[in-house]
Each structure stands twice: as C-alpha cells, then as structure tokens.
Structure 1
Amino acid sequence: MHLGHNAMGFDIDALRAAVAAHGRVIRVVVAEVKGSAPREVGAAMLVWSGGQSGTIGGGALELEAAEAAQGLNVPRKLSTHALGPDLGQCCGGSVTLLSEIYTSEDLARLQGDVIARPTKPEPQPLVVTRLLNAARAQGQRSQPQMIAGWMVEPVARPTQPLWIWGAGHVGRALVQVLSPLPEFEITWVDALHSKFPERIPECVTALPAQEPDRLVPHAPSDAHHLILTYSHQLDLALCHRLLGHGFEFAGLIGSKTKWARFRARLSALGHSPEQIARLTCPIGRPELGKHPQAIAIGVAAELMALSQRLDLKKEHSA
C-alpha cells in the first residue's frame, strides 16, 4: 500500500481542536480490515459527548462504534466487527477498531512524525522499533497498520502544494470542495482582500496581492496551480510566469476559444509549443455544467486522479 490521496494519517490538529472544544474525546480508528469494508485502515472518527466528526464508513458499523465510544471507560479498546452477520452490512468483511480516550494530558504525549502505541500493555516489539527508527533517520513514511499488537500511524501531513488563483465564485467553490482533502496544502491568491469570504478553512492560506503574478516565484516548483481570476490579462500573466518558473500541473479555466488565443499569445512571448502544451485548458468536466460547484467537482476529480498517478509513479521509481 502506498500513501496516496486515499491514505490516512493521524490528524493531530483535528484531535487538538476537538479536545479543546469538548474536553474528553474518543478517537476511533480502523486498525485492521479483512475482506470488503467501507473504509481503509487508518480511517478515523472523533466522538465526544453529544457529537462526532470524521467517518469510518457510516452505516451500522459507525453507529455502533460511536455508541460504544460514548461509554468507553478504559484508555483504549480493540473490537472486531463482522460486517455481514453482526451488522447487516453488505460489505461482507470484518473490521477491527481501536477506540482511545484523549484529554489534554494525553495530547502532550503525542510527539514525532509517527504515532505508535500498544493496543494492550506490552513492551515495544523490535519490528516497531525498527520502523520508528527508519522514520526518524531516513524520513520513511509508514503506512497506517496494526503490527505485533501495536497501532502505528503517520502524522497527517499535506503532501501536495496547491495554489488557487482567484477568489470569485469558482475559486470559492474549489476551496470548499478541496480544503477537506488532507493531501492538499492550499494557498489562495486574489488581488482584492474583499474577495475572500469571512471564514476561510484553517488549512488554507489566503494571500491578497495587488499583483498576484509576482507571487509565482514563491510557489514550489512541484505545485499544482488552478488559474481562474477575474481578468484574462492576469490569467495570461500567470501562465507566462508559471511557464518560466516550473510546476507539476497548471490548469486554466476557459473555453477552447480562450485557449487558442492564449496559445498564440504565449507563443509570441517566446514559449515553445512543447512548453505551452504543459498547461491544461479547459479544466474540469464540461459535461457537468457551468455551475461553480459543478466545475469544482470536475476539477477536484481531475486533481485527485492526477495525484493518484503521481503517487504510483513515485512508488514505482522508489
């Protein structure tokens, strides 16, 4: 298993926020899966008195796990659920869940890039020690797994920088759709501060700039870019700057006519046909329609598919 966009991580920030707001919080994580199941190992939800966030797949499994979490009276507990016979779910496999109580005191003990703890009191086995040493010394990122009676999870970290240029209707819809996805580290740029909504997701960095294209040199060379500003002139300036800077993906919102004009203008600015072809226009799924949310859904699907291909490419070259 590789850690692509479907992979999970221990979201310490979400846990801290929940503990700060609710005090005692129970984290329920999928520790092991056999056969077919609604979610993968590492999928987690947080449960507190009167509420919950996240999901381990919904349905009867999640309902039962949330109810059991409310009554948990030991620091951690493993439970195995046969989805067909026990819960009447059609998946047919079985899922082992690890439920753990967290308070502010417990949070202080969560350190490092990998969170490892025993599912029952026992010394740390050699295989876990080696895994943790590799993570520290070589920067190797572990996959979520239960190994030798210990649950091991990498701390959730965004792996893909994403720059969204424009805070209009489509830009807002894109941020709304993409910000919950843990792999994207989003930087959101617009020329006007007033264009940004009052509430911006904590994982999004908003950058108002009178000349947005001058921020291009600050973007990582492996970033994804979505260009959808109010101005064709600014869109062109961003494309021009990005072609001189480097990127993993750069997508431009617009029609085929707009793209034909941009290709001609970028060629006149000195870019070769091969360079220009690295830009993607139009972006999204035209068959979904032109509503901002529909465009955002199509673009999100495109980016997630690209992210999966890049992850597989990195895995095969490793």
Structure 2
Amino acid sequence: MTGWAAFALERARRGEAVALVSVCAVQGSAPREAGTRMVVTPAETFGTIGGGALEHQAIDQARKLLASEAGHALQANYALQDWPLGPFLSQCCGGHVRLLIERVVDTGWLEAALAFQAAGQDFTIRTDLGPQLAKTVRPDLGQSEAVRALSRDGGYLGAARPPTTEVGALVQREAIARPRLLMFGAGHVGQAVARALAPLPFDLAWFDSRPEFALPATLADETAQFEAIGLAAPASLYLIFTHSHALDYALTRAVLRRGDARYCGLIGSRTKRARFLSRLKAEGLDDTGLTCPIGLTALTGKAPEVIAVGVAAQLLLLVQTPARSEIPA
C-alpha cells in the first residue's frame, strides 16, 4: 500500500506543488491522534486527518499556501495553526487540534523516510521551525510520544499544546515495525481477510498450495508452509483456513508445537474445534493458545467479508492491547 511519503515524493518528482498537513498536538476529543498526516496537492489529497470541517479547512489552508509566492526569501513555507473543534468549526468533538501545514520544498527527507520504511526500521522526523523549515530524519530516538514538542532552546515541552511562540521544533516518531502475520489459505475467506488487512499494521506472509490461488498469495507446497512456520519470528501471529481439514490440523499442530505464538487462529465450528482439541490432547500438545472459531463472536454472519471484519478487529484489539492476557472474543 502506498504511504504518505511515497505519494508526496512521487507527486513532487512530477513537478507538482505538494503540501503536508500534520496533526502535531491535540487536547480533548479530536477526530485523529497526534502524528496523523495528510498530503495535499492542488488537485488531490492522500490520507485523512479525520474528515469534517477541520479537514476541509486544512485542505483549503494547504492549497492557499501552495498558491502563495514560494520563491521570496522571507516567504515562510509553513503555518502552525490551532483549531477549536466546537462552535467555530461546527464540530461536536469539543477539543483543540494543532496543525502543521507545510509546503514540501526539499524532498531529500522524504527519500530518507522511505528508506527507513523499506528497511522496516522505526525513525523520527525532526522539524525545526524558523524562517524556513529544516527537516532531519534519523533512527528512532526511543521516546514514546507520537509527537514531541521542543522549545526554541531545545528543551522538551511536556504540555500537549504549548503556546506556538514557544515551539522551536517538533520530533515526530514513525513506528514502522509491524507484527508478523502468517496466513494459510487463499480461498474466499483468505481473500476477504487479506483485503481487510491490507491497510492495517500487519506484516503479512500469505500462502496457498494450489496454483490457481498463487496470486496474490505465495504458492507454497505443504513442506514449504511448515518451513515458514519453523522460520517465523517469536510471537508471530497465525491464521489457518486452508482447503483441507487435514492440512489445517497439521499446520495448527506445527504452530502449537513452537509454543510461542502470539495468536493462532483456526477457522471452524465449535465441532471442528472439539475434534481438533481432542487430537491435540492425545498428542500431548498444549491447546490453550488456539483461537477457534476466529473473529469476534458477536458477529454471527458467515459471509467471508463478515468473517474478515471480525478477524481484523480481533487482531487489532490484540496488538493494540499487549498487556491483555485474553484474546477479545
């Protein structure tokens, strides 16, 4: 999936004017969190900062910036703006959002960001505010905040929305590392789940042994699928819904034998679960790590698209709440 940096760089290389809108601070209720970005050109947008009146105003402000005189030496290529989300914008959120709206002039930092993304490495983007913006891209500094505001003398400003006159720089963290998810089976359910997961923060490896399902999944015979499980990193996630119950069982057994899966999801009814558990118990395997049926149990539909929504939601709840010991059902 194309990200904001790739989109911005590609449009800039075409010679188009490009602006970047970043949520750099929020207080109270807001449609998106700090760190959210949107790319704006005279004719297009990519991404969203939450929609509604705020986004409409941000796009308008970005395009006005792009239409302004960019070549003048004293012309600032950015604006740091505070927006109340109450009556002023006719939004009911009630909070405040600070936006950094900037013209993309130097693309070197975008190229550096893309290099970190391609390497799967977390990184930070430091934006120094002055007569013109200065951007520095470096490996992740380890801070937990999505955006860290620095004073003009380099000190950390801990308030969520310190006065704009005090802000000298913004250090924005980009978390790239994604949990590894191995998925077995590219039938109707597998295809629906893959579509649902495409925009979500998972590193997907998808396998099927049938040539007719080789694309977009990877064609891999059973031996290769077992090898993929054996080579997977600790705490990987697994989804199993092949065309064969015998293969489902063999893959499930291989995952549980590892003993380190963060999630092992098996498609099937409660009857299938009972039969598999009985066989696993007979083989002396610990079945406590098995999730079957998969997905949120509140969603009872059996259409592939419904199953996909339930599975994606279950996995998101799991990876976003790492302290929880139970899989939400």
Please indicate the TM-score interval, normalised by the length of the shorter structure: 0.7 to 0.9
Counterpart Cα distance in 1 of 2:15 and 2:31: 28
Structure 1 residue 172 corresponds to structure 2 residue 186: no
Partner of 1:203: none
Structure 1 residues 217 and 196, CA gap change in structure 2 (3 angstroms): same
**CA drift at 1:153:** 1.3
Counterpart Cα distance in 2 of 1:41 and 1:168: 38
Output the TM-score relative to the length of structure 1: 0.80
Counterpart Cα distance in 2 of 1:146 and 1:288: 46
Partner of 2:36: 43
Structure 1 residue 238 corresponds to structure 2 residue 251: yes
Structure 1 residue 208 corresponds to structure 2 residue 219: yes
Partner of 1:144: 147
Q: Secondary structure at the match of 1:77?
A: strand
Partner of 2:78: 76
Partner of 1:259: 273
Of the three residues 53, 56, 64, the one matched with 1:63 is 56
Partner of 1:282: 293
- The answer to which structure has the higher helix fraction is 1
**CA drift at 1:71:** 2.1
**CA drift at 1:311:** 5.7
- Output aligned runs, 1:77-156, within 5 Å: 77-102=79-104, 104-105=107-108, 107-108=110-111, 110=113, 113-121=123-131, 135-136=140-141, 139=142, 142-148=145-151, 149=167, 150-156=169-175
**CA drift at 1:249:** 0.8
Of the three residues 158, 176, 184, the one matched with 2:202 is 184
The answer on whether the counterparts of 2:185 and 2:206 sit within 8 Å (CA) in structure 1 is: yes
Partner of 2:310: 298
Counterpart Cα distance in 1 of 2:194 and 2:187: 11
Higher relative contact order (CA 8 A, sep 6+): 1
Partner of 1:217: 230
Structure 2: tracts of 5 or more residues without a match: 69-75, 117-122, 152-166
Counterpart Cα distance in 2 of 1:180 and 1:109: 22
AA of the residue aligned to 2:40: V
| RMSD of aligned alpha carbons | 2.8
Structure 1 residues 58 and 250, CA gap change in structure 2 (3 angstroms): same
The answer on whether the counterparts of 1:11 and 1:155 sit within 8 Å (CA) in structure 2 is: no
The answer on whether the counterparts of 1:77 and 1:100 sit within 8 Å (CA) in structure 2 is: yes
**CA drift at 1:108:** 4.2
The answer on whether the counterparts of 2:7 and 2:46 sit within 8 Å (CA) in structure 1 is: no
**CA drift at 1:144:** 2.2
Partner of 1:32: 25
Q: Which moved more, 1:252-261 or 1:70-79?
A: 70-79
The answer on whether the counterparts of 1:11 and 1:156 sit within 8 Å (CA) in structure 2 is: no
Partner of 1:3: none
Q: Secondary structure at the match of 1:90?
A: coil
Identity of aligned residues (%): 38
The answer on whether the counterparts of 1:28 and 1:99 sit within 8 Å (CA) in structure 2 is: yes
Q: Secondary structure at the match of 1:250?
A: strand
The answer on whether the counterparts of 1:253 and 1:281 sit within 8 Å (CA) in structure 2 is: yes
Q: Which moved more, 1:23-32 or 1:256-265?
A: 23-32
Structure 1: tracts of 5 or more residues without a match: 1-9, 201-205, 314-318
**CA drift at 1:307:** 1.3
The answer on whether the counterparts of 2:4 and 2:46 sit within 8 Å (CA) in structure 1 is: no
